[in-house]
Structure 1
């Protein structure tokens, strides 16, 4: 029997394919250094786990409101306002089982089949997957390298907007390239959204995963709160990747729609996990600070080795937990001209597993340089230095 035609347009998170290849190589007895998947191997702060256990003991294991329990929605609104300078209330917050559902529900709420949505490329592959799966037209905008990292090609963004463009997905503190907008770039994106009456999905998954400076949200700019949906997730800050807890923070009309979608899709997010998340936001922050400091040390370790490896060029990011170096010269030195083949050879020679630019959207015309992504969130510093040291030796040999 035939399956639905739309399934032909459904993509996936391709980092998991790299994980499969790494696991297969490891099953043959080889040591693996897993830089491919942006998971966190650190413990969730005790304030969160203790609150979960307390909620379970108190019987908070049944259904709850589709939009989320009031204590969490209120805590999220207060925390968001304090960190972003916004004026949301609990009514603007709709709790989700993770951050990913916000992407799908945002698109379902604002995009009709055949309408265009702009999205970052390289970028999180689920953007492209969901736009096309839901019948939209995915239009990729690119980044250009600068001395400080990467910047959005604003001229290209302008050229992509048509009367059929409905929304733009904007990922400040970006996965995979760790790019962070300047104030001028953020304001330019906001101005384009206002000028062309576009909805904005502001993916802020890494808003608090930063090592210096202060994060800013496009939603706080004049005229943006009423057209922006913030994607919030507990996965990064609280090392809760497997707990599946997030939220859409949205204008009231969109919040109500997404709440109805919750009722249709999953009824509600697990109740006792919501109480745990509320405790994380309002309770002792010692564990959160420890996670960030550990990640800082891992970033420094990875950068130290990669930045001194012949043929690798990299800027030092102040946010996320990824490094996205240019490996064009390293590939040429090894006599490899295809980036995925380079990754495979590196895995077999050193055990170091990483994603490539091709795992984060279809390469755009004119791309000449080759990039790979290292996620350092799942390895201790000792393993980072050891694994990347082996990679350095292999590249330079």
Structure 2
């Protein structure tokens, strides 16, 4: 029996492969310091737990509307709009089972087979996977290092556009590199989208995971509302990764298409989890601030300790819960030629588990530096200190 040929184009979220390698190493009795996966080791806030329990007790366990319960769509419209300086109609909000399905459904709604979609590289690997799975042409655009982190190579991005390009995926507050666009860079992307009549997926998963400043949405810029779909998720801000709750905010014709896909794919998002979402948005926001303060301390410890390791360096990011240090000289000092070997040898020698640049898209021509990604969202500060201390000892031995 044969399977469909399109499966050959389907990639995966490669961080889970690293997680499996770490789990196997731990199962052999070794200590592991988990910097590999962007999960959060924070408990669900009490009022959100109570909302789930009440919804189940009240019998809210059956089917509900495909685009989401009205109460959640209204709460999302209010919250997302107020934080972005936009007026959002609840009819433009479609609830999804997490943020990730928005990528898939955006592409199905706006991209025909053979059309090109620009996406960040390094970037979330599901972008490229889904573009190719649905028959599109994946067009990576790259970042260049700066004193503050990374910036989009706008000349390279523009040069990648042709008459078949239909959309761009824009991940401000970016995974894996924690880059945040300047106002000028954001405006440049908006201008390119309008010049070439491109749809835009604005992946705003980390919009409120920040330690300084205030996030801005490209959708709020002049001329962008009618061509932009916002990806929103409860996973990061409310530590609801396993609850699988998010939404798309989209022009009505795209919102209607995504709603139709919901009906075809999963009928609806879990109803009692949606009521948890209402409680998260309408309830006290104190737990969010408390979590961010803990993450800030973890970030500071992580960056300080990395910069104390010979051959490693990183800028302190203002957002997300990732760092993307340059390890070129550290690898040279250890005589290790590939990032894959560096990751494996580090795990076995120190227990420190991390992803590498190669887990976030194939390196592009001209890249001559080596990077790894460490997530500090699921590891306590004491373990950060111990783990990176062991990494330092191993690299400097």
TM-score range, shorter chain: over 0.9
Query: Alpha-carbon deviations, 1:338-359, whole Å to 9, x = none?
Result: 1110111100100000000000
Show CA shifts across 1:26-53 (max 9, x none): 1111100010010001011112111111
Q: Report the alpha carbon displacement of residue 382 of structure 1 after superposing the two structures with TM.
A: 0.4
Aligned ranges 1:297-312 → 2 under 5 Å: 297-312=297-312
Q: C-alpha separation between the residues in 1 aligned to 2:202 and 2:381?
A: 32
Deviations along 1:322-344, one digit per CA (max 9) or x if unpaired, are 00000000000111111110111
Residue 34 of structure 1 aligns with which residue? Answer: 34
Residues 2-27 of structure 1, C-alpha deviations (whole Å, 9 max, x = no match): 10000000000000111111111111
CA distance in 2, matches of 1:78, 1:391: 46
Give the drift of 1:297: 1.1
Corresponding position of 2:61: 61
Structure 2 CA distance, aligned partners of 1:289 and 1:60?
30
User: How far, CA to CA, are the matches of 1:129 and 1:44 in structure 2?
Assistant: 31
| Residue 288 of structure 1: how far off its partner (Å) | 1.3
Alignment map for 1:321-336 (pairs within 5 Å): 321-336=321-336
**Matching residue of 2:108:** 108
- Give the SS at the match of 2:319: coil
1:144, distance to aligned residue in structure 2 (A): 0.2
In 1, Cα distance between equivalents of 2:290 and 2:71 = 25
Instruction: Give the superposition deviation at 1:293.
Output: 1.0
Q: Deviations over 1:86-137 (max 9, x none)?
A: 1111001000000110000000000000000000000000000000000000
Q: CA deviation at 1:306?
A: 0.4
Please list, as runs of the form range in 1=range in 2, the aligned pairs for 1:85-164 lying within 5 A after superposition.
85-164=85-164
Normalising by structure 1, report the TM-score: 0.99
The alignment covers a number of residue pairs equal to 397
Pair 1:230 & 2:239 matched? no
How far apart, CA to CA, are the structure 1 residues paired with 2:17 and 2:29? Answer: 19
Q: Distance in 2 between matches of 1:240 and 1:307?
A: 32
Q: Whole-Å Cα distance in 2 between the matches of residues 12 and 110 of structure 1?
A: 22
Match for residue 189 of structure 2? 189
Offset at residue 168 of structure 1 (A): 0.2
- Counterparts of 1:111 and 1:24, CA distance in 2: 39
Match of 1:21, SS state, is helix
Establish whether residue 339 from structure 1 lines up as the match of residue 339 from structure 2.
yes
Q: Which blocks of at least 5 consecutive residues in structure 1 are unaligned?
A: none
How far residue 301 of structure 1 moved from its aligned partner, in angstroms, is: 1.2
Tell me the SS of whatever aligns to 2:242: coil
1:140 CA drift (Å): 0.3
What residue number does 1:202 align with? 202
RMSD of Structure 2 on Structure 1 (CA): 0.6
CA distance in 2, matches of 1:133, 1:259: 21
Runs of 4+ in 1 over 2 A off after TM superposition: none
Q: Secondary structure at the match of 1:360?
A: coil
- C-alpha separation in 1, matches of 2:21 and 2:276: 35
Tell me if 1:170 matches 2:170.
yes
TM-score by length of 2: 0.99
Which residue of structure 2 lines up, in the alignment, with residue 265 of structure 1?
Answer: 265
Distance 2:269 2:302 in 1: 36
Give SS of 1:359's match. Answer: coil
Partner Cα separation in structure 1 for residue 81 and residue 277 of structure 2: 17
Listed one character per residue, the Cα deviations across residues 250-297 of structure 1 (whole Å, up to 9, x for unaligned) are 011100110000000000000010011111011111111111111111
Aligned counterpart, 1:277: 277
Separation in 2 of the partners of 1:5 and 1:109? 22
Instruction: Note the alpha carbon deviations across 1:196-219, whole angstroms, 9 max, x for none.
Output: 000000000000000010000000
Cα pair 1:46 1:287 within 8 Å, conserved: no
- Partner residue in 1 for 2:72: 72
**Separation of aligned partners in 2, 1:143 and 1:50:** 43
Match of 1:295 in 2: 295
Maintained 8 Å contact 1:118/1:169: yes
Comparing 98-107 and 80-89, the one that deviates more: 80-89
Q: Which residue of 2 aligns with 1:317?
A: 317
Decide whether the 8 Å contact of 1:33 with 1:387 is kept in 2: yes
1:374 aligns to what? Answer: 374
C-alpha displacement of 1:393: 1.1
